[in-house]
Structure 1
Amino acid sequence: MRRIRLFFKISRFIPFVISFFRSREIALRKKIAYLLLFIGYFFIPFDAIPDWLAVIGMLDDVAVLMLILKSMIKTAPNTLKHKYGI
């Protein structure tokens, strides 16, 4: 249920992600790790469920994106979480 709510609040995460990468409170190693995760997510062509299966095929892509965002939220400083109401 939490992942479903997270999915519907996706528009709020764009400024959060930008602030996450601009924040001086977060170690450069973590920023690079998350950047590599995002790049890998978009450029590695492997899917558990092929995208040509319409909606079902995109579910694994959304799940991976939500897992990355959830992990970013956990590692973000409290000031950043409160700023965006997360």
Structure 2
Amino acid sequence: MKKFFKRVGFVLTFWRFIPFFIDYLIAKDIVLWKKLFPIGLAVAYIFIPIDLIPDFLFIFGYTDDVLFTTFILQSMVKYAPERLKEKYRKLTN
């Protein structure tokens, strides 16, 4: 449960993630498919109108959205070179 709330907090403060996102996209040492994978997932999720849990179920309906968004952001962090991870750690601490 603690991990879930940590993920929700991360997604709700994603605006702090924007500098990392920009650095990630312009980094020369990240191969193209690692840049396009998270973007492709996000675009597909936006345009495919299927939810695992319908949003009209209020909190439960948004849980899958939060989890999917967290998955996308975590995959970007996973693929990032160590120098970007370290810079991001400094920004968030």
Fold shared by both chains (TM-score > 0.5): yes
Structure 2 vs 1, CA of residues 36 and 15 (structure 1 numbering), >3 Å: closer, same or farther?
same
Identity between Structure 1 and Structure 2 (%): 41
**Structure 1: stretches of 5+ with no match in the other structure:** none
Task: Tell me which residue corresponds to 1:25.
Answer: 29
Instruction: Report the equivalent of 1:58.
Output: 62
Relative to structure 1, the CA distance from residue 77 to residue 2 in structure 2 (aligned partners, 3 Å threshold; closer, same or farther) is farther
* Superposed counterparts of 1:11-50, under 5 Å: 11-50=15-54
Give the whole-Å Cα distance in 1 for the aligned partners of 2:5 and 2:77: 15
Structure 2 gaps of 5+ residues are: none
RMSD between aligned alpha carbons? Answer: 1.7
Structure with the higher fraction of residues in helix conformation: 2
**What amino acid is the match of 2:48?**
I
Q: Cα 1:11–1:40, aligned 2, differ >3 Å: closer, same or farther?
A: same
Q: Does structure 2 conserve the Cα–Cα contact (< 8 Å) formed by 1:49 and 1:60?
A: yes
TM-score by length of 2: 0.80
Q: Name the structure 2 match of 1:73.
A: 77
- How much has 1:12 moved relative to structure 2? 2.0
